[in-house]
């Protein structure tokens, strides 16, 4: 809404011309002043009236931003919101409902439902030429591609979203999208572009984003710096994020950033500092019943102790992580089962009421249908129960497998250290830090026999490829050669970490070491180069 200033000018003349002239001059000055003030008011009002799709959508969310509701409870509330929007034919609120449910299922890793609501949103958006709606859609489509680890497709969607946000003059979305483009370029190791887009985002954020969004941007930029092995800069920017979020008095988000700070200390091999902070966060998470934060805390502590060489402690925290993760997932399953039972009882009650209001032969027909429905419901519930039990057994089996693998690694490292010490006493040779680190990589999970079988199958698919790699890059180690072959198979970082038995951060560090030994330029994409090699 614009604010107008109304004013009147009174020119008074008398018999003395000098007085009239003075009054006229004074009034002209006032006129200039009033027009200047009017311009400022109109300009400020115009800036405040700038459309922010996300901000308006968040105002409409029936669930408070900081809510302790479970995922299934949030889905129920948002389904009711969407139902009302459809009934009232309010298509803007209908779009909000699709996006709310998209987020609920995305956060619960229910990706089929996530994609379903995105498709429904796409159909609705196609009816209108609304660039702000289109920008919101492309942002969420980029998230879907992130699920599939398709960073290039995600980047394309973010760039489309930025174009639409620019047309819509939605500066808040523009700033957020620039920051996401920066983070995505970092994921594909294109650090110059990542730095360029973050610099643009950083200029816009203070003008249009709130403090929580600015803190999140600095947290992401801290991660980007750590990807470049600049942990010192990463520590600087995570401290900025923590200081900003502390002003908002949001201990939950601060605990997430503090956890990232402890991870950076782990990477800097400041293990004592990392352990103290992790323990502090563990107590805070327990006292506040933040189980989702505790799951992450247990996992990162396990990585700390593994990096530190305290393997028994690492095993302890890996077990805590998976047990708590199973507990959380089990609670969600029980809640869904309870909902199914309530739904079943409600349907049964409604059918009984209808049966009492119709003729005898109609009643008999409906009773048969009801019995059929009950049978199907019982079969469905029994099937779901069996599937859940099977899933729980598989999860337990995976946990036992991981623990067994970690025990094997521990035993191998203990034997390696014993052999190394014996050899040192015999021929007085010292092993370098790089050799020690690489030996750890080479001894992970897969045995020589496993790799021999793997290489046999690999050579069948790519004849003489391993020889070509060794001839071209004779200085790379056996562990780096394994990483090279995994990248040739276009495996993602998470898959590489699983097959080599190391953390995702270790994969990133190994990639950087391999890049340096290959002599690749900073702008060159390691994945594309190896795929085309």
Higher pLDDT, residue 76 or 351: 76
On the question of pLDDT at 291 being above 70, the answer is: yes
Higher pLDDT, residue 340 or 408: 340
Mean pLDDT of 302-313: 92
> Please, are residues 173 and 135 in contact by the beta-carbon 8 Å criterion?
yes
400-432 confidence digits (pLDDT tens): 543 343 334 334 433 443 454 355 455 554 444
CA distances (Å), origin 240, targets 19, 215, 218, 285, 329: 62, 7, 7, 22, 34
On the question of pLDDT at 396 being above 60, the answer is: no
Q: Give residue 96's pLDDT.
A: 94
CA distances (Å), origin 391, targets 322, 325, 379, 386: 14, 13, 18, 8
Residue showing tokens 């009643």: 363
Helix (H) or strand (E) holding 456: helix 448-461
On the question of pLDDT at 88 being above 80, the answer is: yes
Structural domain boundaries of the chain?
A: 448-532
- Tokens (6 digits) for 498: 């699983």
Cβ-Cβ contacts under 8 Å for 373 (sequence gap 6 or more): 347, 351
Whether the predicted model's global pTM rises above the 0.85 cut: no
> Please, are residues 260 and 219 in contact by the beta-carbon 8 Å criterion?
yes
CA distances (Å), origin 117, targets 87, 232, 351: 18, 42, 30
CA distances (Å), origin 1, targets 36, 45, 66, 386, 496: 19, 7, 31, 60, 56
> Please, are residues 135 and 165 in contact by the beta-carbon 8 Å criterion?
yes
Q: State the architecture of 448-532 in CATH terms.
A: Orthogonal Bundle (1.10)
């Amino acid at each position: 809404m614009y604010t107008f200033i109304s004013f009147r000018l009174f020119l008074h003349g008398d018999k003395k011309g000098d007085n009239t002239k003075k009054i006229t001059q004074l009034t002209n000055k006032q006129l200039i002043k009033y027009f200047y003030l009017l311009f400022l008011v109109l300009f400020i009002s115009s800036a405040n009236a700038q459309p922010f799709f996300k901000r308006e959508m968040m105002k409409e969310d029936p669930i408070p931003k900081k809510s302790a509701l479970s995922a299934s409870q949030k889905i129920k509330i948002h389904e009711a919101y969407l139902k009302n929007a459809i009934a009232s034919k309010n298509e803007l609120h209908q779009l909000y409902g699709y996006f709310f449910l998209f987020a609920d299922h995305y956060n619960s890793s229910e990706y089929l439902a996530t994609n379903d609501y995105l498709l429904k949103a796409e159909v609705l958006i196609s009816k209108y030429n609304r660039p702000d709606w289109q920008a919101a859609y492309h942002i969420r489509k980029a998230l879907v591609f992130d699920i599939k680890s398709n960073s290039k497709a995600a980047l394309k969607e973010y760039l489309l979203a930025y174009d639409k946000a620019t047309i819509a003059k939605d500066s808040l979305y523009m700033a957020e999208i620039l920051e996401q483009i920066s983070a995505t370029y970092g994921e594909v190791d294109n650090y110059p572009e990542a730095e360029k887009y973050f610099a643009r985002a950083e200029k816009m954020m203070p003008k249009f984003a709130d403090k929580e969004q600015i803190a999140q941007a600095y947290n992401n930029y801290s991660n980007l710096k750590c990807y470049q092995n600049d942990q010192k800069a990463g520590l600087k920017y995570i401290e900025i994020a923590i200081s900003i979020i502390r002003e908002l008095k949001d201990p939950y988000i601060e605990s997430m950033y503090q956890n990232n700070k402890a991870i950076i200390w782990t990477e800097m091999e400041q293990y004592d500092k990392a352990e103290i902070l992790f323990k502090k966060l563990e107590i805070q998470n327990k006292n506040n019943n933040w189980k989702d934060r505790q799951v992450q805390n247990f996992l990162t502590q396990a990585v700390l102790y593994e990096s530190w060489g305290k393997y028994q402690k690492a095993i302890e925290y890996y077990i805590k992580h998976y047990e708590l993760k199973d507990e959380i997932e089990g609670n969600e399953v029980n809640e869904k089962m309870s909902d199914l039972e309530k739904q079943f009882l409600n349907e049964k009650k409604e059918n009984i009421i209808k049966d009492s209001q119709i003729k005898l032969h109609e009643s008999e027909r409906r009773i048969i249908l009801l019995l059929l429905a009950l049978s199907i419901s019982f079969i469905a519930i029994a099937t779901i129960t069996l599937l859940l039990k099977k899933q729980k057994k598989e999860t337990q089996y995976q946990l036992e497998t991981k623990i067994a693998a970690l025990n094997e690694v521990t035993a191998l490292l203990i034997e390696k250290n014993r052999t190394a010490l014996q050899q040192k006493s015999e021929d007085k040779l010292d092993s370098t830090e790089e050799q020690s680190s690489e030996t750890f990589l080479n001894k992970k999970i897969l045995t020589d026999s496993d790799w021999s079988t793997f290489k046999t199958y690999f050579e069948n698919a790519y004849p003489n490829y391993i020889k070509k790699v060794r001839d071209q890059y004779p200085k790379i180690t056996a562990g780096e050669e394994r990483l090279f072959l995994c990248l040739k198979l276009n495996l993602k970082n998470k898959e590489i970490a699983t097959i080599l038995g190391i953390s995702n951060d270790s994969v990133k560090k190994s990639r950087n070491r391999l890049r340096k030994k290959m002599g690749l330029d900073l702008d060159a994409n390691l994945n594309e180069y190896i795929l085309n090699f």
